[in-house]
Amino acid sequence: MRKLLLILIYFVIITACYKKNDNTDIVNLKEKIENYNLVKMLVEIPAGTLEKWEYNQLTKLIERDIKNGKPRTIHYLGYPANYGIILNTFSPIEQGGDGDPLDVFLLGPPLNKGTIQEVKIIGYIEMLDEQESDNKFIAVSNNDDLFGEINDISELQIKYPDLILIIKTWLKNYKGSHSDIIIENVLNAEMAKATLLKSLTYK
C-alpha cells in the first residue's frame, strides 16, 4: 500500500510539473508575439536555392517535396528569401487553411536548411493557392544589419520599395505560367500579430 501511495504521489508531481512547463511555454509564446512580434521559424529552403523541401510533421524531418512521383524543383528564379514555417502555428482546414504550419519568408542572407531562429514578423502577404488560404508571413532578424531595425511592412516599403513587389512577382510565377495563386493583399505587423495569435498551437 505504501509503495502504491508513493507511485501515485510521484505521478501527481510529474503531471503538475509538466502542466506548469506547458503553461509557461504558452505564456512565453503569446507574450513574445504580443509585445515584440517574435516567433521561432524553421528554415526549410535557403534563399537563392531551387529545390523544394518540406518539414514532415510525422517523421520530424525536412524531406524533399515530391509531386507526381518526382522531386520538386522550382523552374524559375531561386527563392527570394529564406523560406520555412513558423513553429507552434497551424492553419485550420475548417477556416480555409491548408492544415499546415504558417509559412514565412525571412529576409537576409541565406541560412542552412534546418536552422531554427527567432525572427520578428513585420507583416504578411494574404494569398490563395488552389482556393486555400496560403498566407506568406514576412520576417526579419533583429541581428540583421540590413533589415533588423524594420518593425512593419510599411517601413520596409519606404526603405526598400521594390522588395515586396519582388516577392509577390516570384509567388505569382514560381509554379509556372498556369499558376492558380491569387495575391489579395499585403497586411501590416498588427494584422499579422492577430493572425499569429489565432493560429497558435502548443503541440
Q: What is the 3-state secondary structure (H, E, C) of the chain?
A: CHHHHHHHHHHHHHHHHHHHHHHHHHHHHHHHHHHHCEEEEEEEECCCCCECEEEECCCCEEEECEECCEECECCCCCCCCEEEEECCECCCHHHCCCCCCCEEEECCCCCCCCCEEEEEEEEEEEEEECCEECCEEEEECCCCCCCCCCCCHHHHHHHCCCHHHHHHHHHHHCCCCCCCCEEEEEECHHHHHHHHHHHECCC
| pLDDT score of 22 more than 60 | no
| pLDDT score of 122 more than 70 | yes
The pLDDT assigned to 28 comes to 85
* Burial 142-152, CB ≥16 within 10 A → b, else e: eebeebeebbb
pLDDT tens digits, residue range 167-197?
999 999 999 888 889 999 999 999 999 999 9
Question: For residues 117 and 106, is the Cβ–Cβ distance under 8 A?
Answer: yes
The C-alpha atoms of residue 193 and residue 184 are separated, in whole angstroms, by 18
Dmax (CA) for the chain in angstroms is 73
- pTM of the complete model: 0.85
pLDDT tens digits, residue range 75-109?
999 999 999 999 999 987 776 677 789 999 999 99
The C-alpha atoms of residue 70 and residue 54 are separated, in whole angstroms, by 14
Label residue 130 by pLDDT band (50, 70, 90). Answer: confident
| pLDDT score of 61 more than 90 | yes
- Best CA proximity match to 101, nearest among 112, 81, 116: 116
Label residue 17 by pLDDT band (50, 70, 90). Answer: very low
Label residue 12 by pLDDT band (50, 70, 90). Answer: very low
CB neighbour list of residue 166: distance below 8 Å, 6 or more residues apart: 80
> Grid coordinates in use for 50?
531551387
CB neighbour list of residue 144: distance below 8 Å, 6 or more residues apart: 107, 108, 109
| pLDDT score of 41 more than 80 | yes
> Grid coordinates in use for 80?
527570394
